[in-house]
């Protein structure tokens, strides 16, 4: 058990009266309530925390917040193991188990560190250049690349925790509970406006928790407590701690994740581990603060090198000492505050190196000198020394001179502060360059949001308090209609971060050692220089070529330095070089939080047909169809899906089969203009459809492409029943309502979805009539009830509808009965058909029979095909208008070489053709080769005793009889096929009409 040898005797917001045990890499450590995992490891003197992604270099703690690039750990064990979690954001609890990542066999002795030796041979762009040849080796390369990729390892087991989704609305949303955010919340809350305050940490205050600032004569923490006590008494204010606003979306919607139980060992039952919030606000105030930036120098990634603000935070916020002999390297005033705070806890500060000339720091330099610290102005740290941790630094003046080595055990670095503009950018807002502040600041935004405080480039504490209050008062008056009186507390003492020079990020002389810009992804100054030499000078190209900012930290401490270096190489200013787009999420979000309770059977609403329990009793295997589950096949004994489908198809085509078709969309259309409405909707004519008849119809999209098909039956003078595909039932209904309400509001038509009111089943096969004659009260003779007839009837005495429609190509009927009567009607049909050998068949057999018949379905009506492509060109009426008609004759749609529907059979008569296979002349020819089409659907035809397929082929049936290859590159396989008619069985349709 390790002692807390670097824990201060006093100070910090921790409870020293309680001790918490935790483990890191199997070793037991101790901490206290109020600690993070990072601060507890600092207090225990644990320097080495991880290995870098590419070179496996030793890495230590670098920051104190979400910008942390190094201290990525796996938390917990078993099914709750969570990789890539920042130690800086993990609240310590008793029994916490953490493991370091990206190392083997141990953190200290990592075999992957041999990559450092070969680093000269694997610079930026290495993968792009190396794995291009030979191309046939890619699958071999891919295996090793995938093994090397990534950092942590997920558990691979089902997540046992619960997640929840919440929606909230407010007048003013405030993101960030630092000084600017709290000042804004105080004023907004007092106005009576509905306020939501969101902050990612477990306690509010922002940097006031880590600074020794005084407000109204008291420590900043005391002011935070007073404000929070005041806010907690306001019913109109909701406070969400441990909640990260990770995305800003349209219509002023901000998405946030609340970590409800991440800080406990085992989440309580029935309480979510995390909660996803969708917050819609009239106005948003972004008070997200700023992120301290690093500087590039030799071996600046060694454990012991950290941001200066982080060093101050661990001392002031957690009573943990990150080092005993510190060297400070800064380009702005905040480095001096870190030096003074370290000195106040009796930590040694051996030197302060300031890149600015003598006098730039004003009274700060003298205050540090008065404490006995040597201040080296106009100088730079050029290299950190040490293997697994820092032991010394080399310092050199910019003007030249002697290189000086200074012993130390930590380097606190500050290259200035960059406003956290991520949410503003996500909102669609522009970024402006503030030359005085030396950083990008929020510009205009198309949404109702404003930025205040440090995230707006206002780094002084008094400025943060003032701006937060002023903006809240302005918005509250606009929303509530009344002026808001408010006061702003006064800050005592200097504001150290008000002046900085972030745009001058010095590289210093190259005195050996890699100079890292992106510490997580091992991107160096030399990598950026290489990208510049090779022409990758756009910020987007630079990012992708070098992987700058593409790690889990999303470049929070590397993007600005990378831009500055590229600007220098191009002799441009940083704003001329520009910046990449900030995209959500701000920090990684657990997939479980995004899914919420919509997992497993709750992934989406499950719709069951009235006959579902019968299918279950028969051992049906299921297939999802839209929101429904449908029986895919009914295995008997040890039958496979192919065996069962072969049996079901054979029995149906030779005798009779029964299929549940309840899931088809059913829309009741009534009114004096119902016929005219359907006439405009479908490509073919419906205005003159006789009562008692059904007709197959095709609907196009507005761009002229095929969209949906189905049958519509005329049940009365002004009464029609329309059917759609299962998947498009909802969209078709929506489109119909849209046209009735906005395009043709003069039509007297009323439509109602009746999909769930009617149970439906199809009875098909040459003996289908014999079965139904025992149950239906009307004459089913061919003359009395011919093909495409429709009628109301009675099924075993109960009201029903009967349609003579065939999707299988056989003599077939569809029966609709009341949903309440569906199960009983199904059972009576099975009983009536027993003497004829009736079998139930599922969608697998239904698909086989439709392929045999050449009927198109979703894989052919795929949003890219025209009616003519599908062999349905004759259904396009030339005498009337219909949706999409204006586009059907576009030149691209009438090209004879468009891909059109064809049938395929294997030349050898036995080899299966793979779905999705590409049609090419010769699969053995070297690429590139023209792709002539692709396979859309496959089946084994029992009647033809061979595999068959439908495909879309350039030129269609004008190539009938041609042989070519159906190639499937993913499996490096191909089948020689012959183009035939897509109507494999009974092309004249005689069976349907008997």
pLDDT at residue 471 above 70? yes
Look at the block and give the residue holding tokens 């009889």. Answer: 961
Q: How confident is residue 121, by pLDDT bands cut at 50, 70 and 90?
A: low
Are 453 and 181 contacting, i.e. CB atoms less than 8 angstroms apart? Answer: yes
pLDDT score at 601: 74
d(CA 164, CA 257): 10
pLDDT score at 942: 97
pLDDT score at 969: 87
Q: By C-alpha distance, which of 567, 800, 645, 589 is closest to 82?
A: 589
Q: How confident is residue 789, by pLDDT bands cut at 50, 70 and 90?
A: very high
pLDDT at residue 507 above 70? no
pLDDT at residue 499 above 50? no
Are 322 and 314 contacting, i.e. CB atoms less than 8 angstroms apart? Answer: yes
Are 775 and 768 contacting, i.e. CB atoms less than 8 angstroms apart? Answer: no
Are 761 and 814 contacting, i.e. CB atoms less than 8 angstroms apart? Answer: yes
Question: Span 427-445, mean pLDDT?
Answer: 92
d(CA 888, CA 702): 10
Lowest mean pLDDT among 139-143, 157-161, 938-942: 139-143
d(CA 817, CA 759): 5
d(CA 328, CA 368): 11
d(CA 934, CA 914): 10
pLDDT score at 510: 55
Residues 341-389 have pLDDT tens digits of 999 999 999 999 999 999 888 888 999 999 999 999 999 999 999 988 9
Are 580 and 539 contacting, i.e. CB atoms less than 8 angstroms apart? Answer: yes
Best mean pLDDT range from 28-37, 400-409, 478-487, 575-584:
28-37
CB atoms within 10 A of CB 152: 18
pLDDT score at 371: 95
The burial of 144, by beta-carbon neighbours within 10 Å (0-12 exposed, 13-18 middle, 19 or more buried), is given as exposed
pLDDT at residue 884 above 60? yes
Question: Span 521-532, mean pLDDT?
Answer: 93
Q: How confident is residue 123, by pLDDT bands cut at 50, 70 and 90?
A: confident
pLDDT at residue 146 above 80? no
Q: How confident is residue 617, by pLDDT bands cut at 50, 70 and 90?
A: very high
Question: Span 142-153, mean pLDDT?
Answer: 70
pLDDT at residue 497 above 80? no
Q: By C-alpha distance, which of 424, 427, 490 is closest to 457?
A: 424
Q: By C-alpha distance, which of 32, 36, 38, 23 is closest to 77?
A: 23
Question: Span 914-935, mean pLDDT?
Answer: 93
Q: By C-alpha distance, which of 697, 705, 756 is closest to 726?
A: 756
Q: By C-alpha distance, which of 553, 539, 547 is closest to 523?
A: 547
pLDDT score at 962: 97
Q: How confident is residue 118, by pLDDT bands cut at 50, 70 and 90?
A: low
Q: How confident is residue 148, by pLDDT bands cut at 50, 70 and 90?
A: low
Are 728 and 663 contacting, i.e. CB atoms less than 8 angstroms apart? Answer: no
pLDDT at residue 322 above 60? yes
Tell me the chain's radius of gyration from C-alpha atoms: 36
Residues 157-196 have pLDDT tens digits of 999 999 999 999 999 999 999 999 999 999 999 999 999 9
What is the three-class DSSP state of 116? helix
pLDDT at residue 501 above 70? no
Mean pLDDT (the chain, rounded): 93
> What do you get for the CA distance between the two ends of the chain, in Å?
88
Question: Span 232-256, mean pLDDT?
Answer: 97
pLDDT at residue 276 above 90? yes
pLDDT at residue 308 above 50? yes
Query: What is the β-pairing status of strands 918-920 and 963-968?
Result: antiparallel
pLDDT at residue 945 above 80? yes
Question: Span 592-614, mean pLDDT?
Answer: 88
pLDDT score at 2: 55
pLDDT at residue 504 above 60? no
pLDDT at residue 122 above 80? no
The 8-class DSSP code of residue 742 comes to I
d(CA 256, CA 199): 10
pLDDT at residue 456 above 50? yes
Q: How confident is residue 147, by pLDDT bands cut at 50, 70 and 90?
A: low
Residues 697-744 have pLDDT tens digits of 999 999 999 999 999 999 999 999 999 999 999 999 999 999 999 999
d(CA 564, CA 585): 25
Question: Span 626-655, mean pLDDT?
Answer: 96
Q: By C-alpha distance, which of 169, 201, 781, 987 is closest to 789?
A: 781
pLDDT score at 150: 66
d(CA 912, CA 894): 33
Alpha helices of 489-626 — where are they, by DSSP H? 525-533, 539-546, 559-570, 574-577, 591-595, 612-617
Percent of the chain with pLDDT over 70: 96
Question: Span 914-918, mean pLDDT?
Answer: 96
pLDDT score at 511: 62
Question: Span 982-991, mean pLDDT?
Answer: 95
pLDDT at residue 458 above 90? yes
pLDDT score at 54: 86
Higher pLDDT, 975 or 129: 975
Q: By C-alpha distance, which of 169, 168, 167, 173 is closest to 476?
A: 173
Are 183 and 488 contacting, i.e. CB atoms less than 8 angstroms apart? Answer: yes
d(CA 338, CA 917): 64
Question: Span 777-789, mean pLDDT?
Answer: 96
Are 390 and 412 contacting, i.e. CB atoms less than 8 angstroms apart? Answer: no
């Amino acid at each position: 058990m390790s002692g807390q040898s670097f824990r201060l005797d006093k100070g910090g917001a921790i409870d020293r009266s309680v001790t918490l045990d935790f483990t890191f890499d199997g070793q037991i450590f101790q901490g206290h309530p109020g600690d993070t995992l990072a601060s507890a490891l600092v207090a225990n003197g644990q320097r080495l925390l991880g290995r870098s992604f590419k070179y496996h270099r030793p890495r230590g703690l670098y920051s104190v917040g979400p910008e942390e690039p190094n201290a990525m750990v796996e938390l917990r064990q078993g099914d709750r193991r969570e990789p890539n979690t920042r130690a800086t954001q993990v609240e310590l609890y008793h029994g916490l188990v953490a493991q370091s990542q990206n190392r083997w066999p141990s953190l200290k002795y990592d075999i992957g560190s041999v990559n450092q030796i070969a680093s000269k041979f694997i610079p930026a762009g290495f993968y792009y250049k190396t794995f291009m040849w030979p191309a046939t080796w890619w699958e071999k390369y891919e295996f090793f690349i995938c093994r090397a990729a990534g950092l942590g390892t997920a558990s691979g087991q089902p997540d046992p925790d619960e997640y929840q989704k919440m929606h909230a609305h407010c007048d003013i949303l405030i993101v960030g509970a630092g000084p600017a955010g709290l000042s804004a919340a105080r004023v907004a809350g007092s106005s009576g406006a509905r306020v939501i305050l969101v902050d990612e940490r477990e306690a509010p205050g922002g940097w006031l928790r880590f600074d020794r600032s005084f407000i109204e004569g008291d420590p900043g923490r005391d002011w935070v407590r007073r404000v929070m006590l005041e806010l907690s008494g306001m019913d109109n204010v909701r406070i969400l701690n441990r909640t990260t606003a990770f995305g800003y979306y349209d219509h002023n919607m901000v998405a946030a994740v609340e970590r409800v139980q991440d800080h406990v060992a085992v989440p309580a039952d029935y309480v979510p581990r995390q909660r996803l919030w969708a917050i819609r606000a009239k106005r948003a105030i972004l008070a997200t603060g700023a992120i301290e930036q690093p500087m590039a120098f030799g071996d600046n990634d060694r454990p012991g090198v950290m941001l200066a603000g982080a060093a101050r935070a661990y001392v002031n916020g957690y009573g943990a000492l990150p080092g005993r002999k510190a060297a400070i390297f800064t380009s702005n005033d905040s480095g001096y505050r870190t030096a003074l705070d370290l000195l106040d806890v009796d930590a040694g500060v051996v030197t302060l190196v300031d890149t600015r000339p003598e006098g730039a720091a004003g009274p700060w330099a003298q205050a540090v000198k008065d404490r006995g610290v040597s201040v080296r102005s106009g100088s730079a740290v050029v290299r950190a020394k040490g293997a697994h941790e820092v032991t010394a630094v080399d310092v050199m003046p910019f003007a030249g001179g002697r290189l000086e080595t200074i012993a130390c055990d930590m380097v606190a670095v500050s290259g200035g502060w960059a406003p956290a503009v991520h949410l503003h950018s996500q909102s669609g807002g522009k970024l402006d360059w503030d030359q005085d502040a030396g950083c990008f600041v929020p510009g205009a935004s198309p949404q109702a949001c404003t930025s205040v405080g440090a995230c707006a480039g206002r780094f002084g504490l008094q400025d943060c308090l003032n701006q937060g209050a002023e903006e809240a008062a302005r918005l509250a008056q606009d929303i509530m209609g009344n002026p808001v009186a408010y006061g702003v507390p006064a800050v005592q003492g200097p504001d150290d971060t008000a002046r900085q020079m972030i745009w001058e990020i010095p590289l210093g002389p190259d005195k050996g050692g890699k100079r890292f810009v992106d510490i997580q992804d091992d991107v160096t100054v030399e990598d950026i220089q290489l990208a510049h030499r090779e022409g990758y000078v756009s910020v987007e190209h630079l990012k992708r070529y070098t992987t700058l900012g593409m790690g889990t930290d999303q470049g929070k401490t590397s993007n600005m330095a990378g831009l500055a270096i590229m600007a220098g190489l191009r002799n441009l200013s940083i704003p001329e070089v520009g910046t990449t787009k900030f995209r959500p999420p701000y920090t990684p979000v657990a997939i479980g939080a995004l899914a919420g309770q919509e997992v497993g059977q709750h992934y989406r609403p499950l719709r069951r047909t009235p006959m579902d329990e019968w299918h279950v009793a028969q051992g049906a295997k299921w297939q999802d169809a839209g929101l429904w589950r449908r029986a895919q096949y009914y295995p008997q004994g040890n039958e496979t899906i192919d065996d069962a489908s072969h049996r079901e198809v054979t029995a149906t085509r030779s005798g009779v089969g029964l299929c549940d078709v309840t899931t088809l969309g059913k829309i009741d259309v009534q009114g004096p203009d119902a016929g005219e409405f359907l006439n405009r909707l479908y490509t073919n004519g419906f205005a003159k459809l006789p009562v008692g008849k059904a007709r197959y119809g095709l609907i196009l999209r507005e761009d002229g492409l095929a969209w949906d098909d189905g049958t519509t039956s005329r049940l009365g003078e002004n009464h029609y029943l329309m059917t759609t595909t299962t998947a498009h039932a909802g969209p078709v209904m929506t489109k119909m309502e849209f046209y009735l309400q906005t395009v043709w509001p003069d039509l007297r038509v009323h439509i109602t979805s009746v999909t769930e009111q009617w149970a439906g089943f199809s009875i098909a096969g040459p003996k289908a009539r014999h079965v139904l004659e025992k149950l239906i009260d009307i004459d089913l003779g061919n003359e009395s009830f011919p093909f495409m007839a429709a009628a109301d009837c009675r099924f075993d005495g109960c009201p029903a509808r009967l349609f003579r429609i065939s999707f299988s190509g056989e003599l077939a009927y569809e029966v609709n009965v009341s949903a309440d009567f569906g199960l009983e009607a199904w059972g009576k049909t099975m009983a009536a058909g027993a003497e004829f050998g009736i079998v139930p068949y599922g969608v697998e057999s239904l698909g086989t029979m439709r392929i045999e018949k050449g009927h198109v379905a979703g894989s052919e009506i795929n949003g890219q095909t025209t009616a003519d492509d599908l062999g349905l060109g004759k259904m396009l009426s030339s005498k009337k208008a219909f949706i999409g008609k204006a586009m059907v004759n576009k030149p691209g749609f009438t090209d004879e070489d468009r891909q059109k529907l064809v049938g395929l059979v294997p030349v050898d008569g036995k080899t299966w053709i793979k779905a999705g296979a590409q049609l090419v002349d010769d699969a053995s020819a070297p690429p590139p080769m023209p792709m002539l089409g692709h396979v859309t659907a496959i089946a084994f035809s029992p009647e033809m005793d061979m595999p068959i397929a439908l495909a879309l082929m350039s030129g269609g049936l004008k190539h009938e009889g041609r042989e070519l290859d159906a190639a499937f590159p993913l499996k490096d396989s191909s089948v020689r096929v012959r183009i035939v008619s897509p109507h494999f069985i009974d092309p004249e349709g005689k069976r349907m009409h008997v």
